[in-house]
Structure 1
């Protein structure tokens, strides 16, 4: 999972330094706290119009920030700004300023107009991808399955979700124009539960600031953002905020399903099972397997083999006979196009980075991570796994350039300020998660299915739309389907979950035609779950 989305490090600017309570006045036993707010809310307003489905939608845009504090902060004493004294040892000394761009349809009733909070993942990615690539009023054009070059072109986005919902694109703490400060900033914000808390408080405070408590409410998360969204369903309920729906794009809710470093985790074989259908789709696309087959039928066969003979073979471990091993390797070859002798050397277990590296090794090419249809020159022909993602390299500069221009010119925000395109926190992220019912954070890979299950049981009207691409090996589509099939909810609530998959990679919206399909599916989902006609 090393390649979910882009990430790099951040520097920040502090504002304000007035002292609210002198250090001498504090009791000797009290932990030091920030003396004054380090950030202040900002907002820049502009106006525009976008045409979707032949209908012009005038909107008001607000680019700004909200100030967020770590869990346990006591904001009932606004002058002193001090933390909850009973929890002081556990509350990090930090503050965050979270950047957002909100689009409100002009003239719409706030009571009945849906509002959707959208965010990308990483962890460590800002939300420029969903903003400038999918659902904002403008989008950047990139060539399909190829590397583009400047000048990058932006166009009016006729697939913006403004036809059915107001939109709020939110950057995670430390990314984009969001900033973090204080000596404990990493502890405060860079972890599973810390991140869920930050976005939950952001949504709560945004609803208050803009008077949207009565609106139908949605979350839209991509990649690691799906883990955030699933965790937020329950966290928001604890703030007395029920959601109408959650849209997951390229979901990863249970990190035990990541097909990474099999030699380091012997006995855990499920990741290779749920990834195999994507490997088969990739081999089919590059004409290394499944010649002449329809993709849907081919994937159905791959899923059946993965959950049948392949699962049984992996479960046998070293008890698998030589004949059985040869037979399974031959079947794996038929689905993946990888050589039988190579598959035997891998002990029938395929890392996603190995598939990228080996499938087209004879041509000196590596397939993409986020979209395996992309190809690029292999950086190190002697490496075990791929060390680059051709899709990320192909579109990253275009998205970054387009958003930096758009936010500074059309939205009028960010003059003289760096937009942090990614934060390098993947390896240092705090992956501990405290699921409902546990008295402490678990020492295990995070799994937010329990959070989502409790939220759906408490709010039986909560609907879920699960989407993804067949050619994504970072968050394989069948892993997402498997996750939700194991969501511990009663049968009647399972009917609240809908699935839509596309012939694309991780970022379905890169292809305009597929963006149109996905827009239609998401718009229908919002219309059918907003409760307005009930």
Structure 2
């Protein structure tokens, strides 16, 4: 009934106003014609956060240019702007991760005015998928700009510029920061409260973008950074021999999965209580045992093995064979092997049936193939319909940036950690806060790794806002968590705007 009332509150049909395009001019560097930036403007109304909002959607390209004023890239953005806004209305710039992922996941799953509704922790099946009004969109609290970097969505390099020149931590961040500056120019919003944020690698991008925005004398100060399913310290989670911390930061996620799937004995009433016990074990007896290596005494090994088994549901025999060091891939297959299913990486609540039950790891991630068809279908249907997008090229949802350059220093980086850029930004802007949203059942970006990364020295702890969700990497696939995420971020924006 709630969705029906929301649907009735919407305008019957959007008004589409596609702007006239100037004649394409040849690019003198290549001779190939470069069309003027595509742009479609539509009018809408919806109910968000309990408020009826009339707004304008602008779906189109922003051209980046080189020092000779020649276009180098067409960056596709979708802006949602409240009509007749109040003074000092915030604007929030959002992107997804990958790297190589378009913004469709946050756009059609969490914060856009429409969302695709799919069954919670089950396969999304075949189309048609329900695309419904999204009462959890943030449009009552902030204008929103979704950005697709080069190689994602409809964004691409232009002229003789190679797309790979944008595919790197710093290169990508520089381009996204330039898009933000150009958007602020065009829309006259330089003095508006500003928030930036992303999901997964989008949190890494957020750290790099804040550094790019503030590394010169023409700073763009922001009020807050929104991190959803955070990964900042890649060295911490590197699955390489000798890195013992990778096992420490994933153990609490294993405990959460065991709690959810009822593989643990004496199960506490809440997952929160269970993971707190796992945190204490991971940073205490477990870490101490790992760093002792070959000098670990048998009695201590036996005690740690027994506690590990009790927290997760893995057998002591398996833990012994794994030398107390369980990789995520092995865990996905082993936890429910006796039930004949594997669990998900993005969301451990999902289960999938593999070709056989003898393998060391799962055939695929059931929490990704459980949603991967619905989002591209919804994005294309909505954008090419209501938003008036007429581009003939395909929308790239994920995987569009091969050969990513991970270097952030002058040479090769042996340990990649972007957290210090957030710490520096917080120290130099004492009015800026950081929101961190984590799902208990996320192995792609484990909650304990996010905690460890952001609780290091040099990061003001009183301006960190940690929130947790009863789901995984994309917590918004669960309707109740989408509402909680939206509510938590509204509160964050209200505090820092």
- TM-score where L is the length of structure 1: 0.84
1:100 aligned partner: 77
**Shift in Å at residue 448 of structure 1?**
0.9
Superposed displacement of residue 279, structure 1: 0.4
Residue aligning to 1:270: 245
Give SS of 1:495's match.
Answer: helix
Q: Structure 1 pair 126/443, CA: closer, same or farther in 2 (3 Å)?
A: same
1:226 match: 203
| 8 Å Cα contact 2:237/2:249 also seen in 1 | no
Instruction: Please show how residues 381-420 of structure 1 align to structure 2 within 5 Å.
Output: 381-420=357-396
Tell whether the 8 Å contact from 1:39 to 1:97 is kept in structure 2 after alignment: no
Matching of residue 467 in structure 1 with residue 437 in structure 2:
yes
Gaps of 5+ in 2: 1-22
The counterpart of 1:501, out of the listed 468, 486, 490, is: 468
Match of 1:5 in 2: none
- With normalisation by structure 2, the TM-score equals 0.90
Residue 188 (structure 1) aligned with residue 165 (structure 2):
yes
Which of 46, 54, 57 pairs up with 2:50? Answer: 54
Instruction: Give 1:322 deviation, angstroms.
Output: 2.7
Query: Once the 2 structures are TM-superposed, how far is the Cα of residue 400 of structure 1 from its aligned partner?
Result: 1.1
Query: Shift of the alpha carbon at 1:126?
Result: 0.3
d(CA) in 2 for partners of 1:51, 1:243: 27
Aligned to 2:208, the other structure's residue is in SS state helix
1:248 to 227, 234, 243: 227
Q: Does 1:114 align with 2:90?
A: yes
2:25–2:35 CA contact under 8 A, matched in 1 = no
The answer for the alignment partner of 2:18 in structure 1 is none
Q: Deviation at 1:290? A: 4.5
| 1:227–1:448 Cα contact (<8 Å) kept | yes
**Residues 327-350 of structure 1: per-residue CA shift (max 9 Å, x gap):** 222111111111212112222111
> Match for residue 208 of structure 1?
185
| Superposed CA RMSD | 1.9
Query: How do 1:373-522 and structure 2 match up within 5 A?
Result: 373-379=349-355, 381-425=357-401, 428-434=403-409, 440-489=410-459, 493-522=460-489
Q: CA–CA distance in 1 between the matches of 2:35 and 2:275?
A: 51
Tell me: CA distance 1:19–1:52, structure 2 relative to 1, closer, same or farther (3 Å): closer
Match of 1:160 among 122, 127, 137: 137
Distance in 1, matches of 2:358 and 2:413, equals 35
Query: For the residues of structure 2 that align with 1:245 and 1:52, how far apart are their CA atoms?
Result: 21
| Residues 306/182 of structure 1: CA separation in 2 closer, same or farther (3 Å cut) | farther
The gaps in structure 1 that reach 5 residues or longer are: 1-14, 21-32, 82-93, 435-439
1:224-275 residue CA offsets vs partner (Å, 9 max, x unmatched): 0000001211211234100000110000001012253xxx422x11111111
Secondary structure, counterpart of 2:52 in structure 1:
strand
Q: Is the partner of 1:46 in helix, strand or coil?
A: strand
Q: Which residue of 1 aligns with 2:348?
A: 372
Q: Per-residue displacement from partner, 1:266-306 (whole Å, max 9, x unpaired)?
A: 2x111111111110000110111154312221111100000
Query: 1:288 corresponds to which residue?
Result: 263
The total of aligned residue pairs comes to: 471
Aligned counterparts of 1:62 and 1:467: Cα–Cα separation in 2: 28
Q: Deviations over 1:402-454 (max 9, x none)?
A: 1110000100003433111222546x2111113xxxxx244224211121122
The question of whether the paired residues in 2 share the 8 Å contact of 1:38 and 1:95 is answered with no
